[in-house]
Chains A and B, each alone.
Chain A
Amino acid sequence: MRADMQVAPLLSVDKLRVEFDTGGGKVVGVEDVSFSIWAGETLCVVGESGSGKSVTALSVMRLVEFGGGRIAQGRLNFARPDGAAIDLAGTGPALMRQLRGNEIGMIFQEPMTSLNPVFTIERQLTDGLRIHKGLTAEAARAKALDLLKSVRIAEPERMLRRYPHELSGGMRQRVVIAMAMACEPRLLIADEPTTALDVTIQAEILALIDRLKRENNMAVLFITHDMAVVAQMADRVAVMYRGKIIETGPVAEIFENPREDYTKALLAAVPKLGEMRGRAAPERMRIIGDETARADAALAERSAAPKAKPKPLLEVKHLTTRFPVKGGVFRRTVAQVHAVEDVSFTLNVGETLALVGESGCGKSSCGRSILRLIEPQSGDIWIGGREIRALDRHELRRARRDMQMVFQDPFASLNPYRRLADQVAEPMQNFGLATGRELQDRVAELFDRVRLPRSFLRRFPHELSGGQRQRVAIARALAVNPKLIIADEAVSALDVSVQAQVLNLMMELQADLGLSYLFISHDIAVVERVSHMVGVMYLGRIVELGPRAAVLENPRHSYTQALISAVPVADPRQKRLRDDLTFKPIPSPVHPVGYRPSASLYDEVAPGHFVLQG
């Protein structure tokens, strides 16, 4: 890339400052941001939420103004095809419209919302071509077909006639990319294009963007929060923090030799799939500048201490949950979603069993079924010698003292109208565990336990950050001294450094209180770090189950192998992007009423390591 330095950059941003006018005065979105991109390279702008990376991308498109922002200062020099450079910051709206979509393409995060639901794919694709390139309807259609082929969509003719809702998320994102590529832009801005996608689809889309970049000698400005994606995609990296770029450099240099403390901390907090090879027990996440090697050693000691014979806490046998699909005039059940299909596993006291899988594989339904927040169809759920499915309403309510849940979205899992202390106290009040002074003390202790200051007791959820809210949710779950906590994507919505802190807290609590976790997650790198046992779910079934090391280091089921191969690794030396990955699409779990699926039968390939037959 260095050789290119003599060539003028395609885009060079110089001391960009963007301000937002809010009711309370001016807020600076980004400040003193400078970077350049040359043709044929990918610059990844990486940072945690609120660091200003999207604002930067939107400023280049001058779309930031539509969100109430204003470019207060700085230059955005963009080289036109004729070699003349223009300053995008001062470009009039008419010329900007010509540039957008034509010379600068953009891909957004949500493939669901960036396509207009009332137009066919053909219309969405050809509109831009006819406006920017002045093509006739015929020519535009032919070009649209070419584009769909270039993003590797099978049967492009049929695709043209479809509407967005008929497409899967990955297919939609391919169409969005085809749209962005329609006018052969010289700069492609991709704002978290794979964040909403499953890991196998993410791998496909990343490979696709990388190939298009190479084939068209296009510059890519790639915005992401995910260090692993950066390692896979970037030629150069710009790290953003609080509205400023704090470090820029070639990808290998950033990963191997970061200069800034923030970059070092960010990299340390990212779990890398494969790094737990050869280690027996889960390990704390690395947090630089956090309390400690001491706690580290203590935790390692405790978890490595030879346990007495593992004692089962939760035994799930042949659990099956189906949801009715209603249809017709009389709202009869016309089909069933087989969300959880003949799932069995055992979770031992003081251990973590992770259920991993892609969206729709039934891992969340499985967790909810165990708590009977949704009613399973059949199967047994034994916890501490009690069969949960046999309990009546009142017994079930009491039984829930032993099992609590932590949800994914820390913004939605706390009631915005109640004070935090009241929310943490509620489970104890429900079961009459404490009152008055004792209750208050207990709540305060729980706040200490999850390392929240007691001054937060009287606050409301909106006053806290995502990570702090998740701590409150954990405190609430701990309030009734449960034996089992079901953590449903409990850290997925958090920034990576916050995620590391919350995971460490969970592991500490496990070591101190002997908790068992059913850890539901799509993030295999995190799972590798925290779990003792792993179950891989696919289409409602567990396809592979066993000790963490066995399943992740020696995967035997083809789906597990595909899943693990798709995980981006936060190490630029382990590039996994190959041309045109295509994973087998996941079939539908919807079956007609009366459909009788076969039972789940397993081969025991190694002691405790089970693989689904067939």
Chain B
Amino acid sequence: MKRFLSAKSLFGLGLVVLFVLIAVIAPLAVPADYATKMVMTARLHPPSFDHLLGTDQLGRDLFYRVILGARTSIMIAAAAVVMSVVIGLPLGMIAGYYGGVADNVLMRLVDTLLSFPALLLALTISAVLGPNLHNTIIAIGVAFTPYLARIIRGEVLRVAQMPYVEAARAAGTTDLQMMVRHVLPNIMPPVIVQATISLAFAILAEAGLSFLGLGTQPPSASWGLMIQASRDYLDVAPWTALVPGAAVALMVLGLNMFGDVLRDVLDPRTK
């Protein structure tokens, strides 16, 4: 166990726990209007004692916006990635394990989806379903599914030709047992890595959707919305981009480190 308590793993774990705590606690501890209150006399103020991280173009306090926006951003990203894993895992496993017609049909479908840029796909879905929180999650989740399904299928193909799978088949293991006991654990490492990377992209995708008016609706705060809003003021007030940008970067860094550790913890070979 000692191996997992390295500085890197503690740092990653710490970051993830910190952000999750902020996302959970901040809306309970901080009145919601702190993030939306506009002070027209304090527009684009740099960080100061009054406003720890400065203010945006409408005089809203960036510190409160970042901590109150954490819940929206993390929830959307996490829910979207969970959704893409939940859909992509069975699809990829069926395609890779059974091959043949199932593989052809599913993978052509996946290829079709992959030929659209993920953001465009999410945009279309969001526009069709209407902009709200749930639909944003669905849009991003669906848009990310094909990437995951592809990776999972490839991994399943690799694992399915391992002798332990053949040995299990010779020992009378049924297909379902085979997938759960033998295939799934052995494809998890790349899936975990891909999922943590996807979380980062999901946060950014949410930002893109928000910018186009199809994600989080103003005046609610989300990190993506804040980054997009800062675009016009980069030269005069760079902190308006740096503050939410740093939040995204730290979250992603924490997740990637956390993902690596998770992968190692699950692998009996590293114990």
Q: Say how far A185's CB is from chain B's closest CB, in angstroms.
A: 40
Which residue of chain B has the shortest Cβ distance to A430 in the bound complex?
B172
A397 to B174 Cα, complex, angstroms: 9
Q: How far is the CA of A203 from the CA of B20 in the complex (A)?
A: 66
A390-414 contacts to B, CB under 8 A, are: 397-398, 400-401, 403-405, 407-409, 412-414
CB distance from A343 to the nearest CB of B (A): 20
Could you list 14 examples of A-B contacts with CB < 8 Å? A373-B166, A400-B171, A404-B170, A404-B171, A405-B166, A407-B163, A407-B166, A412-B162, A415-B164, A415-B168, A416-B268, A418-B181, A430-B173, A473-B167
Q: Does B8 touch A at the CB level, under 8 Å?
A: no
Query: For residue A427, which residue of chain B has the nearest CB?
Result: B171
Q: Tell whether A545 is near chain B: CB-to-CB under 8 Å.
A: no
| Cβ-based interface call for B217 (8 A) | no
A409 and B171 form a contact (CB under 8 A): no
Q: How far is the CB of A463 from chain B (nearest CB, A)?
A: 8
Of the candidates B166, B169, B173, B268, the one whose C-beta lies within 8 Å of that of A462 is: B268
Least CB separation from A488: chain B residue: B163
**Residue on B with the closest CB to A479?**
B171
Is A405 within 8 A of B170, CB to CB? yes
Q: Interface digits, B54-79 against A, CB 8 Å rule (1 contact, 0 not)?
A: 00000000000000000000000000
Q: How far is the CA of A427 from the CA of B181 in the complex (A)?
A: 13
B163 cross-chain contacts in A, Cβ below 8 A = 407-409, 412-413
Contacts of A479 in B (CB 8 A): 171
Chain A residues with CB under 8 A of B166: 373, 405, 407
- The answer to whether A480 and B269 touch (CB under 8 A), given A415-B164, A416-B186, A430-B177, is no
Report the separation of the CA atoms of residues A412 and B163 in the bound assembly, to the nearest whole angstrom.
Answer: 6
Q: Indicate whether A427 sits within 8 Å of B164 (C-beta atoms), given known contacts A416-B268, A417-B185.
A: no
Closest CB in chain B relative to A431 CB, distance in Å: 6
Q: How many A-B residue pairs have CB under 8 A?
A: 72
- Known A418-B181, A460-B268, A462-B268: A398·B172 in contact at CB below 8 Å: yes
Q: 1/0 per position for B135-173, CB-CB distance to A under 8 A?
A: 000000000000000000000000000111011111111
- Bitwise, A431-445 to B at CB < 8 A (1) or not (0) is 100000000000000
A417: B residues at CB distance < 8 A: 185-186, 266-268
Asked if B43 is an interface residue, CB under 8 A from chain A, the answer is no
Do the beta carbons of A476 and B167 come within 8 Å of each other?
Answer: yes
Q: Known pairs A426-B181, A427-B172. 9 more at Cβ < 8 A?
A: A373-B169, A398-B172, A400-B170, A415-B168, A416-B186, A416-B269, A417-B185, A430-B177, A480-B172
Residues of A within 8 A of B271 (CB): 460
Tell whether, in the assembled complex, residue A426 and residue B162 are in contact, meaning their CB atoms are under 8 Å apart: no
Give B266's nearest chain A residue, CB to CB: A417
Q: Is B181's CB under 8 angstroms from A407's CB?
A: no
Q: Which residues of A contact B (CB under 8 A)?
A: 371, 373, 397-398, 400-401, 403-405, 407-409, 412-418, 426-427, 430-431, 460, 462, 473, 476-477, 479-480
Picked from A371, A409, A415, A460, the residue with its CB within 8 Å of the CB of B170 is A371
Whether B171 lies near A480 (C-beta < 8 A) is: yes
- A412 proximity list for chain B (CB < 8 A): 162-164
Task: State whether B167 touches A407 (Cβ < 8 A).
Answer: yes
| Minimum Cβ distance to chain A for residue B261 (Å) | 16
B164 contact set on A, CB distance < 8 A:
412-415
Is B182's beta carbon under 8 Å from chain A? yes
CB contacts (< 8 Å) of B177 on chain A: these are 430
1/0 per residue, CB under 8 A from A, across B248-267: the answer is 00000000000000000011
The complex places the Cα of A371 from the Cα of B267 at a distance, in Å, of 32
Main secondary structure of the interface of B (DSSP, over half): helix
- Closest chain B CB from A364 CB (angstroms): 11
Contact A401 B269, CB 8 Å, known A373-B166, A415-B164: no
**Whole-angstrom distance between the alpha carbons of A462 and B162 in the complex?**
16
A426: which of B173, B266, B268, B269 is its contact (CB, 8 Å)?
B173
Q: Which residues of B contact A (CB under 8 A)?
A: 162-164, 166-174, 177, 181-182, 185-186, 266-269, 271
For B168, the chain A residues whose CB sits under 8 A away are 415, 426
Kindly provide the distance from the CB of B6 to the nearest chain A CB, expressed in whole angstroms: 11
CB-based contact B170/A430 at 8 Å: no
Closest to B271 in A: A460
Bound-complex Cα distance A189 to B266 (A):
42
Contact between B172 and A401, CB atoms less than 8 A apart: yes
For the complex, give the distance between the alpha carbons of A401 and B173 in Å: 11
CB <8 Å contact, A431 and B172: yes
Closest to A417 in B: B185
Which residue of chain B is the closest to A409 with respect to CB atoms? B163
Shortest CB distance A386–B (Å): 15
In the complex the two chains form, is A373's CB within 8 Å of B268's CB? Answer: no
Contact of A460 among B171, B174, B182, B269 (CB under 8 A): B269
Q: Of A403, A418, A430, which contacts B185 at CB under 8 A?
A: A418
Chain B: CB-nearest residue to A486: B170
Quote the shortest CB–CB distance from B182 to chain A (angstroms): 5
CB of B15 to closest CB in A, whole Å: 24
* Cα(A473)–Cα(B166), bound, Å: 12
Whole-angstrom distance between the alpha carbons of A477 and B170 in the complex?
9
Smallest CB separation, A527 vs chain B (Å): 22
Asked if residues A476 and B171 are in contact (CB atoms below 8 Å), the reply is yes
Most chain B CB inside 10 Å of its own CB: which residue of A398, A415, A416, A473: A415
B180 to chain A minimum Cβ distance, whole angstroms, is: 11
CA separation between A87 and B171, bound complex, in Å? 58
- Select one of B169, B172, B174, B186 contacting A415, CB under 8 A: B186
Residue contact A426 to B170, C-beta cutoff 8 Å: no
If the complex has contacts A407-B163, A412-B163, are A430 and B186 also in contact, measured as CB distance less than 8 A? no
Note all chain B residues with C-beta closer than 8 A to A407: 163, 166-167
B residues in contact with A477, CB < 8 Å: 171
Q: Which residue of A lies closest to B104 (CB)?
A: A331
Identify the closest chain B residue to A399 (Cβ): B172
Q: How far is the CB of B173 from chain A (nearest CB, A)?
A: 6
Most buried by B among A371, A400, A401, A417: A417
Complex CA gap A418/B162 in Å reads: 14
User: In the complex, what residues of A have CB within 8 A of residue B182's CB?
Assistant: 415, 418
CB distance from A369 to the nearest CB of B (A): 13
* Cα(A416)–Cα(B181), bound, Å: 11
Which of A401, A413, A431, A462 contacts B167, CB < 8 Å?
A413
Which A residues lie within 8 Å of B185 (CB)?
415, 417-418
- From B184, which residue of chain A is reached at the shortest CB distance? A417
Which of chain A's residues has its CB closest to B270's CB? A462
Q: Which residues from B are CB-within-8-Å of A460?
A: 268-269, 271
* Known contacts A415-B182, A426-B181: A397-B167 contact under CB 8 Å: no
Known A407-B163, A416-B268, A460-B268; contact A400-B186, beta-carbon cutoff 8 A: no
A535 to B166, CA, bound (A): 25
Residues from chain A with a CB closer than 8 A to the CB of B173 are 426, 430
When C-beta atoms are compared, the residue in chain B nearest to A413 turns out to be: B163
| Complex interface: chain B residues within 8 A of A414 (CB) | 164, 167
Chain B's nearest CB lies how many Å from the CB of A103?
42
User: Which A residue's beta carbon lies closest to that of B165?
Assistant: A415
| Cβ contact within 8 Å between A430 and B174 | yes
